[in-house]
Amino acid sequence: MRRTEYDAGQAAKRLKVPAATFRWARHTGLVPDPDMSSRQWSRAAVEALDADAIRAAMPTPPISGSAAADRIAAALGTPNPTTYGERLVVTAFVVRRLVDRGLLADLSAIPEGTLHHPGQVAEVCRREDLADLVAADTPLGPDQAAARLRVRRTDFDHMVRLGWLRSPQSVEIRFGTSRAGAVDVALYTTASVDAVAPAHPEIDWEQLRTVGKGRRSPLASLSPVPAPA
């Protein structure tokens, strides 16, 4: 029985092009919007596509988010270390935030990782504001974020409860080799942490930063502001 509808993966297979290459062509408009539903093309629409033009749009294979992070770090003149366990200058977390900003397209179909057009990564590496972007998107754990704000961890936790910060991604931290003791730790961008104090001038930040250990947080009595409809 002949297939009459194709999703992105099926269309790529029908055209004999890599799935990531098809997604890039979709991103650039070389592949038009699906005509059958929000995610499916008709057989006629797929057969009308130019497979050679789609391949030419990305002549080299996509690179992973970690490889993109390495290229960005090199462009900043501070290459990521190659020794396992050393602290990275630019991480895949930063690359995901560049995707969120619309500066990079994610060509992967799985949530565990990202894939990117090498040429688009090169364009990002040439940006004059690259250092500022990386600094703004550098991840901070809850303890690091609290230290940056010069408040106690309990005060920071109240800020999260109040909706003043939102974590775009979490990372699994293992204790030992077993996943039985693994916990998910929320990460926050440096820019979002730095924006908290200016966004809440109603708070006496100097007082908050001098509250002693074991004292009740001044933020404990506040209630989250409902999100606008």
pLDDT of 228 reads: 63
Q: Residue 210, SS3?
A: coil
Average pLDDT value for the chain: 92
CA atoms within 13 A on the CB side of 217: 17
Produce one character per residue of 153-173: b if its CB has 16 or more CB atoms within 10 Å, e if not.
Answer: ebbbbbbeeeebbebeeeeee
Q: Where are the domains of the chain?
A: 5-57, 63-137, 139-208
Q: How confident is the model at residue 102 (pLDDT cuts 50, 70, 90)?
A: very high
What is the fold of 139-208? Multidrug-efflux Transporter Regulator; Chain: A; Domain 2 (1.10.1660)
The pLDDT of residue 39 is above 70: yes
Nearby residues of 127 by Cβ (< 8 Å), 6 or more positions away: 103, 133
* Structure-model confidence comparison of residues 17 and 226, the more confident one: 17
Q: Would residue 42 be called left, alpha or beta, if left means φ above 0 and alpha means ψ between -120 and 50 degrees?
A: beta
In degrees and rounded to multiples of 5, residue 152 shows phi and psi of -75, 160
Task: Tell me the pLDDT tens digit for each residue of 148-206.
Answer: 999 999 999 999 999 999 999 887 765 555 555 567 889 999 999 999 999 999 999 99
pLDDT of 177 reads: 56
pTM, rounded to two decimals? 0.84
pLDDT of 1 reads: 64
Q: Would residue 77 be called left, alpha or beta, if left means φ above 0 and alpha means ψ between -120 and 50 degrees?
A: left
Q: How confident is the model at residue 109 (pLDDT cuts 50, 70, 90)?
A: confident
| Average pLDDT score over residue span 34-59 | 94
